[in-house]
Amino acid sequence: MCGIVGYVGPREATPIIVEGLKRLEYRGYDSAGLAVIQDGRIEVRRDVGKLANLERMLVESPVGGNIGIGHTRWATHGAPCPRNAHPHVDCRGEVVVIHNGIVENFLSLRQELAAEGHRFTSETDTETIPHLVEKYLAEGGDLEGAVRRALGRIKGAHAVVVMSSREPDRIVAARLGNAGGVVVGLGEGEMFLASDVLAILEYTRRVIFLEDGQMAVITQEGARFTTLDGQRVAKEAYAVPWDPISAAKGAYKHFMQKEIYEQARSITDTIRGRVDFEAGQVCLDGLGISPEGAQAIERMFIVACGTSAYSALVGKFMIESLARIPVEVDYGSEFRYRDPLINERTLVLALTQSGETVDTLAAMEEARSKGARLLSIVNVIGSQAARMSDGVIYMQAGPEIGVASTKAFTASLVDQYLLALHLGKLRGLIDSARMKELVEHLAELPNLVGRVLGNGNDYDALAAKYFKRENFLYLGRGINYPIALEGALKLKEISYIHAEGYPAGEMKHGPIALIDERMPVVAIAVRDSVYEKMVSQIEQVKARGGIVIALATEGDEAIAGKADHVIHVPPTSPLLSPVVNVVPLQLLAYFIAVRRGCDVDQPRNLAKSVTVE
Ligand code: AGP
């Protein structure tokens, strides 16, 4: 969602901020703006729409200065329009604020401030913050103190960044709750701020993350960290292992395309360092689970949202099969509102690419408050979910920029397989010979995914045939039922085609009424224990005139006689087949969206990290 960038140092702030905001475009936004202190005065430029509009404005009306802040806004209060775009200033133009989150008590604050004579120029909740800071500055004290007092007045979860022409050498930033991250980037004689490390990766890989209830004051010389009540906090810097090239589009047309095609490599990276193929061992010792601890686990919850929740549904099959622990999968947004049955023998696994999804973080807090042990599978290094957990498995997928998750999905499947093997071993359920066999299946995975990717152009031909359809149905069974859900989600989020995923056996209980000659049905019918059942679903679709696109195992020629189109995938071990089977569905969604002329990387209304409830 909203993106934040800040800079203080010897260089021109504007290009650094604009470039940083560009790197955050993937998060989703509807307007953008920046503020720079130029000759002792705050200069604001902001516009609605894409960053190109702001850049045009900056060409017509340039701003120069060595300290500044910038923002991409995803509207919550007030329509996307220039006056509602951030930054927001106080009455005198001396205080400027950018903000992620929602000021829940903004109506009463606005009334109070208006009654005191403050003039508001936007409909946003954010605008209350510069006026509060202005008010407290007028009562005496410095910027940091005034920000502290202002933060004490606002309710909700926030990331707030404040600058003032009264103290033109510093930027004050704070994090309250889980409205998105605040990262301080440490340079040599210069400092950076961002909501996400990708924005500043080009300048520094040494970063410090603000925790809930912490503030940072950054100047050219360095950063100072405190709690909201002013206690000094010693913070350690993280070294981010990503390099700026991994966050660039390269020769690809879209980030999503790049990320789909990267999967043979990203899966290799996910496995790297965690499996000893010769000895037949999985090494996740960093999770700190002892054999006794693993034996004591009575049940598991996996909490996640969207694509990550579908990955979790696959993880349930893996963990129940290999570690024999009962697993429930819950949407983060539901978990905390249903008083889940948790005790200290419950293991809660949070699955989140960004590590900042507010619903998942809230579910984690709920689990923690009830005494569960908390693990997470996370892609973004140092993100809030990772910092909250007792143990973390990083996806090692590299930065994922396309809003539609692809390589993080496959990485998280592999991570859950590793976790299932680890727990199964600790619980004494997998002996060495079996472990060797199970990890061998992993070893061949990158190659199998690479083979599917090699047939990329076939999907474009299929897309050309069906991109004008307005409805799709996806069917799968067993461990591939979540892949049907994921295939449908990928299609709907980037192409705006209505698509539903169903466990194939459920088709006859309702969705079958939708089937006619206009309905393409994507059926995952690979050779596994439910193959025959899938074939009979295909027959039922054909009997009603539907169009069947079947995903079938290489060598299965029989299915060609039953389906309209067959996509072949190489055979895999049943527990890992979702990793291979999802790739054609990603490609099909991608090519259809491109043919429909959609904005593949930044689909309408969607954000990469969803930091509001
Ligand atoms: C994925 O394609 C979606 N954009 C979305 O469902 C996403 O998976 C969801 O918002 C959860 O994100 P997370 O993994 O970063 O928590």
State which of 610, 611, 613 you would mutate to test the pocket of ligand 1, scoring each by most atoms of that ligand within 8 A of its C-beta: 610
- Half-sphere exposure of 369 toward its Cβ, with a 13 Å CA cutoff? 10
C-alpha dihedral over 505, 523, 525, 544, to 10 degrees? 70
Residue 357: CA count within 13 A, CB half-sphere: 26
354 Cα nearest atom in ligand 1: 15
pLDDT at 511 over 90: no
Rounded to the nearest angstrom, the distance between the alpha carbon of 610 and the centre of ligand 1 is 8
- pLDDT value at 521 more than 90: yes
Token readout for 309 is: 């929740």
How far is 282 from 418, CA to CA, in rounded Å? 7
**What does each C-alpha distance from 531 to 542, 550, 576 come to in angstroms?**
17, 12, 16
To the query of whether residue 562 is one of the catalytic residues in this protein, the response is: no
Residue recorded with tokens 């049943």: 574
For atom 10 of ligand 1, which residue has the closest CA?
Answer: 306
Average model confidence (pLDDT) for the chain? 93
Give the closest residue (by CA) to ligand 1 atom 4: 404
Residues 465, 456: Cα–Cα separation, whole Å: 15
Pairing of strands 547-553, 565-569: parallel
Residue range 549-595, pLDDT digits in tens: 999 999 998 898 999 999 999 999 999 999 999 999 999 999 999 99
Sort strands 41-48 and 191-194 into parallel, antiparallel or unpaired.
unpaired
Average pLDDT estimate for 479-487: 98
Instruction: Determine the distance separating the centroid of ligand 1 and the alpha carbon of 161, expressed in angstroms.
Output: 26
Rounded to whole angstroms, the Cα distance separating 272 from 254 reads 27
Cα of 237 to ligand 1 centre, how many Å?
27
392-395 contacts, C-beta under 8 A, 24 or more apart: 392/286, 393/284, 393/287, 393/418, 393/419, 395/270, 395/353
Distance CA 145, CA 554 (A): 67
User: Ligand 1 centre and the CA of 45: distance in Å?
Assistant: 31
Span 488-502, average pLDDT: 97
In 3D space, the residue among 2, 613, 51 whose CA is nearest the CA of residue 358 turns out to be: 613
- Closest-CA residue, ligand 1 atom 8, reads 307
pLDDT digits (tens, 9 = 90+) for 2-42: 889 999 999 999 999 999 999 888 777 888 999 999 999 99
Choice from 26, 27, 353 to test ligand 1 binding pocket (greatest atom count within 8 A of CB): 353
For ligand 1, pick from 310, 349, 357, 599 the residue to mutate: most ligand atoms within 8 Å of CB: 357
Residue type, 612: V
**Which residue has the least CA distance to atom 7 on ligand 1?**
306
| pLDDT in the model for residue 173 | 97
In whole angstroms, what is the distance from residue 215 CA to residue 171 CA?
Answer: 11
Both structure tokens of 570: 């190489």
Q: Which residues make beta-bridge pairs with 217?
A: 172, 224
Query: What pLDDT does residue 458 have?
Result: 83
The atom number, within ligand 1, closest to the CA of 607 reads 4
Max CA distance (Å), the chain = 82
Grade residue 255 by pLDDT with cuts at 50, 70 and 90.
very high
- In the predicted structure, residue 240 carries a pLDDT above the cut 70: yes
Listed as own residue / partner, the contacts of 370-373 with beta carbons closer than 8 Å and 24 or more positions apart are 370/340, 370/342, 370/343, 370/346, 371/342, 371/343, 371/344, 371/346, 372/301, 372/342, 372/343, 372/344, 372/346, 372/347, 372/348, 373/293, 373/344, 373/346, 373/347, 373/348
- Neighbouring C-beta atoms of residue 186, cutoff 10 Å: 18
Q: Average pLDDT for residues 516-537, to the nearest whole number?
A: 94
Residue 495 pLDDT greater than 80, yes or no = yes
Give ligand 1 pocket residues (Cβ under 6 A): 305-308, 352-354, 357, 360, 403-405, 493, 606, 609-610
Kindly report the length of the chain: 613
DSSP state, residue 232: B
Ligand 1 center to residue 60 CA distance, Å?
38
**pLDDT greater than 70 at residue 518:** yes
Q: CB-based burial of residue 251 (10 Å sphere; 0-12 exposed, 13-18 middle, 19+ buried)?
A: exposed
As given in the structure block, the two tokens for residue 584 are 């054609």
Give residue 604's pLDDT: 86
Q: What is the pLDDT of residues 355-389, one digit of tens each?
A: 999 999 999 999 999 999 999 999 998 888 998 99
- Whether 2 is a known active-site residue: answer yes
Active-site position among 2, 258, 305, 316: 2
With the most atoms of ligand 1 within 8 angstroms of its CB, the residue from 27, 302, 307 to mutate is 307
pLDDT, average across residues 476-481: 96
Indicate the pairing of strand 222-227 with strand 191-194: unpaired
**Average pLDDT estimate for 168-197:** 92
Atom from ligand 1 closest to the CA of residue 405: 2
Tokens at 346, concatenated: 């419950």
What is the spatial distance between Cα 49 and Cα 378, in angstroms, rounded to a whole number?
Answer: 31
Cα 52 to middle of ligand 1, angstroms? 26
CA of 257 to the centre of ligand 1 (A): 17
Average pLDDT over residues 66-74: 93
**Nearest residue (CA) to ligand 1, atom 5:** 306
For range 477-484, the mean pLDDT? 97
What is the predicted pLDDT for the residue at 1? 64
Cα of 403 vs centre of ligand 1, distance in Å, is 8
Q: What is the pLDDT of residue 476?
A: 97
Q: Per residue in 186-219, pLDDT tens?
A: 999 999 999 988 899 899 999 999 988 999 999 9
Residue 101: its pLDDT value, please? 85
Q: Positive or negative CA dihedral for 379, 100, 17, 171?
A: negative
What pLDDT does 251 receive? 80
Q: What is the pLDDT of residues 385-404, one digit of tens each?
A: 998 999 999 999 988 999 99
Q: Give the pLDDT score at 78.
A: 78
Cα–chain center distance at 85:
23
Please report, rounded to a whole number, the percentage of residues in the chain having pLDDT higher than 70: 100
- Tell the residue nearest (CA) to atom 16 of ligand 1: 352
